[in-house]
A = this chain, B = another copy of it.
Amino acid sequence: MQLTILTFMERKKFNSSPCSIARSLDVLGDWWNPLILRECLYGNNRFDELQEWLGISRNILTRRLKELVENGLLEKSAYQNKPARYEYHLTEKGYDACTVLLALMQFGEHWYFNEGEHPIELRDKKTGDLVQPTIVDANTGKPITSKNLIPCPGPGFKAPQAILKRRFREYYENFS
């Protein structure tokens, strides 16, 4: 006879992780969600438009839109009643999430397209000027290379010294 053992199996969630990367990945660590945000940035805000441009399965799109709305990146609003029809628009938080898209874009341009043959550009909505996203240090204004970075505990990292020293080994070895 086989005893049934209760197991929990669902996609890992990081919503209580003490790491801002992990927390962001709960909603952005996915193939579809960033692309849905991209489409909203393109001005494709309706269910069928999103489905067509992305080639995503309709049931998945339903779930993802719900998720993005629940997480506050998109806002669902009716653009007509009788029959009720909806649009999904980026919220403040959603626009902020799009900076992750800019980083993805920069990486993709660099590694998957030839110089001067990138498929998309960004322009300022008002002036029409070309905009080229770069990650820099806010303090010095110089471009950041992650090779030169070292993670260290921030003010919100509450943990015993022993754990800190294990987690940020490189930092403690070099700076204390």
Contact = CB atoms under 8 A, between A and B. Distances in A.
Interface of A: 11-12, 14, 18-25, 28-31, 34-35, 38, 41-43, 55-56, 90, 93, 95-114, 116-126, 128-139, 141, 144-157, 167-171, 174-175
20 contacts: A12-B56, A19-B38, A21-B101, A24-B112, A29-B31, A42-B169, A43-B169, A90-B147, A93-B111, A96-B107, A100-B104, A118-B155, A119-B157, A120-B154, A121-B151, A123-B152, A125-B149, A135-B135, A136-B136, A141-B141
B149 A108 contact: no
Contact of A28 (B24, B102, B107, B125): B107
Nearest to A33: B29
Contacts of A129: 139
Given A95-B147, A120-B154, A38 B21 contact: yes
Given A35-B25, A137-B133, A138-B132, A118 B150 contact: no
Given A107-B96, A130-B139, A135-B133, A171 B20 contact: no
Contacts of A12: 31, 55-56
Given A24-B112, A93-B111, A96-B107, 11 more contacts: A18-B119, A20-B104, A21-B108, A28-B104, A28-B107, A120-B152, A121-B152, A121-B153, A125-B174, A132-B138, A136-B141
